[in-house]
Amino acid sequence: MSDPRRRRALLTSGVLFLAGPFLPFALGVVERRLGRGREAYSAPGPLREDPFVEVIIPAYLEESTVGATVDRLTTDLEKSSVRHLVHVVASDGGTAAAAAAAGKVTLTGRGGKPAAVNAAVEQSTADVLVLTDANCRIEPPDWPVRMLRELQETSLLSANKTEQGSDDVLFWRLESLLKRDATKRVGSLGVVGEFLAMRLRDYRPIPPATTSDDLWLAMDFDSRGLRVGVSPTITTTEDPAPRPEQWERRVRIAYGQLSMALPQLRALSRTPAGRNYLAHKMYRLTVGAAAFWTGLGAAVSLRPRALVPLIGVPVAAAVAQYRGLLSVRTPLDPLAAVVALQAIPVAAVSRIVRRRLSRDQPTVGWRKVPR
């Protein structure tokens, strides 16, 4: 490839990569001009005056975290004067014992998160379901009151996720901004499994082999004309995982999104929130990441060749640091994390291809690090 063609490739790739954060906003402008928005979704049914809320915590190897989570949730619900049940579905004996203070504990074998949630919902008599994790904190303490208020306008409600002291601070800030804008306009499918609230009557069982249960629920609600949104006032907070575990978690999430959303491109493109999801999440995981690596290849191929280590070494170091292979810390770690995140889709696609070629049968759950 000649130098002019390399430069054009570098310029085009740079534009495509940098367009990613702005694309959902641009789509929003177009949607507004076309008159597409909330009217595409039916209004959620009213809640009873004193709704009964069941918080379901599917937990596996969470012996050191689940007890404090149960206590915190119970306190928040009681102070908010909300009728409630905290239900822990434990897949191991240690977690079940640690969750003894919960209103209900169900001990099961390890059948995966979808099976645990389905089993709990099948037994439920609540008006409102809340799905959350054993290792996160829901803020602020009056979240039950805020949740019930916001469910008056939304069928499936999620929260903004944060991680204390995480190098992904720029990522989480962008996510919050994009989700807030989308929720105001058409709704957002960018939900997180750490907090999902819905009416019991709207829940449909999650298929057992589902790789991303939160995305499946969001897509299912959206396909039925039920509005999905992210709360502007409720957040979930958790401590960042060790870097090797964080890398695996990111790859797992990207794997789930790609393997579930790509086959549903046509269906997603038919709804306002689905189109926003494609411009937000799917663009970043596909076009955005491909543009980054194409641009990087074009940059290192340009003369002088002395540029190769000046570009390649920092990028390789950023990825190695994010994976926990390099323990050096610098003030530029948040920027390095942005670079490293571009390697996540590559690893996820590689995993999808390997599993398809090897014809591996779906496994139950993911590798779990005890907490």
pLDDT in tens, 106-122: 999 888 899 999 999 99
pLDDT value at position 360? 61
Over range 73-95, report the average pLDDT.
Answer: 96
pLDDT value at position 8? 87
d(CA 48, CA 225): 22
Over range 176-202, report the average pLDDT.
Answer: 92
What fold, for 41-241? Spore Coat Polysaccharide Biosynthesis Protein SpsA; Chain A (3.90.550)
pLDDT value at position 57? 97
pLDDT of 167 above 70: yes
Q: Round the average pLDDT of the chain to a whole number and report it.
A: 89
pLDDT of 216 above 60: yes
pLDDT in tens, 89-105: 999 999 999 999 999 99
Taken in order 198, 204, 210, 215, the sign of the CA dihedral is: negative
Domain parsing of the chain, residue ranges: 41-241
pLDDT value at position 172? 82
The pTM for the full model equals 0.91
pLDDT value at position 329? 80
pLDDT of 142 above 70: yes
For residue 9, name the pLDDT band (cuts at 50, 70, 90): confident
pLDDT value at position 1? 53
For residue 312, name the pLDDT band (cuts at 50, 70, 90): confident
pLDDT of 362 above 60: no
